[in-house]
């Protein structure tokens, strides 16, 4: 039997991101957190539903939880990394 999905403390912020997502990446990140928690889907089922690999889905869930807890900075867009002097 698979273990229960973690991240229940990020459920509210993931729901908010799902409503306000402006990019497909933000939408997929919210879905990667919400689907296992709300619909009790496995990582494999979640990956198939959002159209990404199992590895990507697991990494995105972990990254989202770390950013929400403040352990890691949010990833910046490629455009923000450019030097626009």
Q: How do the domains of the chain map onto residue ranges?
A: 8-71
Q: Cα(74)–Cα(21) distance, rounded to whole angstroms?
A: 15
Higher-pLDDT residue of 68, 76: 68
User: What is the pLDDT at residue 6?
Assistant: 62
Alpha helix stretches (DSSP H) within the chain: 11-20, 24-38, 43-50, 54-69, 78-81
HSE-up of residue 74 (Cα within 13 Å, Cβ side): 7
User: What is the pLDDT at residue 45?
Assistant: 94
pTM of the shown model: 0.71
User: What is the pLDDT at residue 4?
Assistant: 60
Q: What number does CATH give the domain 8-71?
A: 1.10.10
Q: Cα(35)–Cα(59) distance, rounded to whole angstroms?
A: 15
User: What is the pLDDT at residue 71?
Assistant: 72
What confidence tens digit (pLDDT) does each residue in 1-53 have? 555 666 667 788 888 888 998 988 889 989 999 999 899 899 999 999 999 99
Q: Cα(85)–Cα(73) distance, rounded to whole angstroms?
A: 24
User: What is the pLDDT at residue 72?
Assistant: 65
């Amino acid at each position: 039997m698979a273990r229960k999905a973690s991240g229940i403390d990020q459920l509210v912020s993931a729901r908010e991101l799902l409503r306000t997502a402006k990019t497909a990446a933000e939408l997929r990140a919210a879905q990667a957190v919400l689907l296992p928690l709300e619909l009790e889907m496995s990582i494999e089922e979640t990956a198939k539903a959002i159209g990404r690999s199992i590895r990507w889905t697991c990494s995105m869930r972990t990254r989202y939880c770390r950013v929400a807890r403040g352990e890691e900075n949010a990833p910046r867009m490629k455009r923000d990394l450019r030097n626009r002097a």
